[in-house]
Amino acid sequence: MVRLRPLAVALLLSGCEGLVEPGAVDEAGPLPVMPGLPQGSGGGAGEVPVPHVLVAEPLHRLNRAEYDNTVRDLLGTSLRPARAFPPDTFVGGFDNAADALTLPASLFALYAESAKALAESTLRITPRFTAHVEARAVGIATAQPGAAFENWGWTLTGTFTTTVAVPRDELTTLTVVAGGAHTAAAPVPQLSLWVDGQKLKSFAITAAPASPQVLSVSVVLLKGARKVQVSFDNFLNEPAMNEGNQAVIGALDLVSAATVTPPGRSKVYVCEPSGPQDAACYERIALTFAERAYRHPLGAEETKTVLALQRTLAASEGAPAATELVVRAVLLSPQFLFRASVAGVGSGPASDWVPLDDFALASRLSYFLWSSMPDDALLAAAGTGALRSESGLRAQVTRMLEDPRSQALREGFAAAWLGVRALESSRPDPTAFPTFTEPVREALKEETGLFFDAVLREGRPVTDLLTPDFGFTSDLLAHRAHEPLPGSAAMVRVARGPSERRGILSLGAYLTSTSDPVHTSPVRRGRFVLEQFLGFEIPPPPPGIPPLPTDASAGTVRERLAEHRKDPTCAACHNQVDPVGLGLEEYDAVGLQRATENGAPIDTSGALGGQRFEGANALAALLRDDPRFVRTLTAKLYAYALGRAKVPEDTVFIDELTRALPREGGRLSDLVTLIVLSPPFRLRPVAETSP
């Protein structure tokens, strides 16, 4: 088997002319406007002028979630190789920013390991049952009759016995590696193979231990623990007469006749070769797989390169092995690992912008909504030009949000925006909060995801994020919160009234991740609310600021913060942040509602921009009526959709999206649609150079 050199093969497949193909020029001239976004004070759709400040974007490497989701959909695999990759860098609160997604050599080495494991597990037809027994190791461990032989075998003096668990009745081939020797007058060593006391076959051992022979017999093994034995039938040891024989066994292998075909193999083998010489089928397999992995039709150079690789490897390794190597090579190619903002058919050189290539737009859309590759329906829409129209894009957004893969939005966007990612590193003090367990941590993450997903996929208004009439809980979460049990170990939907805990401000994930191990942190909570929900940019604290005292004798957290704010160097920021976080003090450091702290009644009063409120629900009502909430959500979802941090040039688009949302319907799903229709999502600057 040839050893695939990852870097060499990747470079072979990475010609820039194949990665980025320039789009044709629209002879009709530049398009003056991009339809889709309503504007002005009236209703209905209008046209938004496209300024020349669209931001150029670098190549976009797949982040860990995108990589795992893509190989899942490409190969039908359940492997999640990206869990072994180093964490992706967060920029602007998200881990999908292209500028930060570099490709160090250490990561490429992990890509190579992943490609090998994925290709093997997807393509190799394997026995349904196998067992491997090293006789030397078992003989030593269980004090079998005989002795260890060098570093590989076991010298028999009687019968070697081992037990093998068989999961089902199986026609199985049992093989044993064996070698022997004998003096002139001694008999040729004879070994017999047994299962459950029944002799299967006897063998004369004529090969020396240095070059052993393979003994083999097939038998139906019944389900259960089976006793497998190798007996030395004519062992002779007469030292006085200098006569004797010897038998050494190595590994015992059991392999079922029945095989298992990986479910993802059919995703690669789009035809079944009639034999190793069926070059047409194998080449079709290679080209079709490369096209799916690259997420666009192959260009002439790409086709030439993939075919050359397939034919070269088939000549040296055989076509089946070549297919596996081609899959590995494609998974290491830049066309697979990166997304590019390729220009498509559009305006000519006189314009400052051009539409994205149809397939580049399809990829941008699928990685926004699914964190994965486009499916066949989306690629078909790209192929027919349907994505060039507003109606075509709207239809795809509607379809894709209804698909279960849209849960990627909650796992990629909502988990970062709503503090779920930060919950992973939260370590509440187990003495102070014994009810916070790992199952609780997982349940809090699921609660946040289900809630966001419901608002998005049920077409609910954005304001339902703050003041909904429902929530999610389970017996585990309800029990620790002293709430009525829903009667379900799994998370279920429950009704929530105006006075009950509800909405994103009551979610235990962010309430825990913004707390300290032994007490709440109104500073961190206030900062979280201001930054995540209102778009504030709070500077980090100056160095050398001591933490709040943790001793309860120092008073409540509110009292300790009041002392802290007496320092003029701290007051400027704390006077802005603390009143917001203090209004959330009804929730303790693990997100449970409480009435007292250190024996004193909880003070839930707070203030936001001079407006006073009492408790989380009152703060939610203020945020609901504050236009900055929708604008901040818009800005964050916009940055996530484009895979880059927000820059000043984006302000005009974010403002227009915010104004357009009420006219569109005000739903969270409407915001997703408007972002997809926006010029920055559909276009790229004409001056942006091709990779």
Q: How far apart are the first and last CA of the chain?
A: 34
Residues 6+ apart with CB under 8 A from 262: 76, 77, 121, 122, 123, 124, 125
> For residue 414, what is the DSSP state?
I
How is the chain split into domains, by residue range?
130-260
Can you read off the two tokens belonging to residue 679? Answer: 């010029």
pLDDT on residue 395: 98
Measured distance CA(193)–CA(640) in Å, rounded: 64
Measured distance CA(7)–CA(12) in Å, rounded: 8
Give percent of the chain above pLDDT 90.
79
Q: Quick check: helix, strand or coil at residue 492?
A: strand
Measured distance CA(301)–CA(310) in Å, rounded: 14
Q: 232 and 247 in contact (C-beta within 8 Å)? A: yes
Beta pairing partners, 616: none
Element holding 487 (H helix, E strand): none
| Number of neighbours of residue 271 by Cβ within 10 angstroms | 12
Q: Quick check: helix, strand or coil at residue 476?
A: helix
> For residue 38, what is the DSSP state?
-
Measured distance CA(442)–CA(8) in Å, rounded: 42
Q: 43 and 663 in contact (C-beta within 8 Å)? A: yes
Is residue 688 predicted with pLDDT exceeding 60?
Answer: no
Q: 172 and 227 in contact (C-beta within 8 Å)? A: no
Cα separation values, 456 from 299, 371, 636, Å: 38, 16, 15
Q: How far is CA 252 from the centre of its chain?
A: 39
As a whole number, mean pLDDT of residues 458-481 equals 97
Can you read off the two tokens belonging to residue 323? Answer: 């297919």
687 vs 366, residue with greater confidence: 366
Measured distance CA(617)–CA(613) in Å, rounded: 9
Measured distance CA(531)–CA(552) in Å, rounded: 29
Q: 461 and 669 in contact (C-beta within 8 Å)? A: no
Q: Give 183: exposed, middle or buried? Use CB within 10 Å, 0-12, 13-18, 19+.
A: middle
Q: What is the dihedral of CA 377, 382, 388, 390, to 10 degrees?
A: 10
Q: 180 and 206 in contact (C-beta within 8 Å)? A: yes
pLDDT on residue 399: 98
Give percent of the chain above pLDDT 70.
87
Q: Give the range with max mean pLDDT: 1-5, 331-335, 559-563, 645-649.
A: 331-335
- Which residue do the tokens 């709430």 mark? 483
Q: Quick check: helix, strand or coil at residue 440?
A: helix
Q: Quick check: helix, strand or coil at residue 165?
A: strand
Cα separation values, 379 from 197, 242, 357, 384, 626, Å: 61, 79, 12, 9, 40
β-pair type (47-49, 33-35):
antiparallel
pLDDT band at 553 (very low <50, low <70, confident <90, very high): low
Q: 117 and 79 in contact (C-beta within 8 Å)? A: yes
Q: Give 157: exposed, middle or buried? Use CB within 10 Å, 0-12, 13-18, 19+.
A: middle
Is residue 142 predicted with pLDDT exceeding 70?
Answer: yes
The tally of CA atoms less than 13 A away on the side-chain side of residue 58 is 13
Is residue 74 predicted with pLDDT exceeding 50?
Answer: yes
> For residue 410, what is the DSSP state?
I
Measured distance CA(74)–CA(263) in Å, rounded: 12
For 250-282, what is each residue's pLDDT tens digit?
999 999 999 999 999 999 999 999 998 899 999
Measured distance CA(416)–CA(366) in Å, rounded: 19
pLDDT band at 220 (very low <50, low <70, confident <90, very high): very high
Is residue 645 predicted with pLDDT exceeding 50?
Answer: yes
Is residue 602 predicted with pLDDT exceeding 80?
Answer: yes
pLDDT on residue 352: 72
pLDDT band at 551 (very low <50, low <70, confident <90, very high): low
Beta pairing partners, 31: none
58 vs 567, residue with greater confidence: 58
Maximum Cα interatomic distance, the chain, rounded to a whole number of Å? 113
Phi, psi of 612 (to 5 degrees): -85, 150
The model carries a pTM of 0.85
Beta pairing partners, 614: 605
Measured distance CA(480)–CA(182) in Å, rounded: 75
Q: 38 and 45 in contact (C-beta within 8 Å)? A: yes
Angle in degrees, 0-180, between the axes of helices 627-642 and 651-664, rounded to the nearest 10: 110
If you classify domain 130-260 with CATH, what class do you get? mainly beta
Task: Find, among 527, 531, 563, the residue nearest to 546 by Cα.
Answer: 563
Task: Find, among 655, 647, 648, 602, the residue nearest to 97 by Cα.
Answer: 647
The shares of helix, strand and coil residues in the chain, as percent rounded to the nearest 5, are: 45, 20, 35
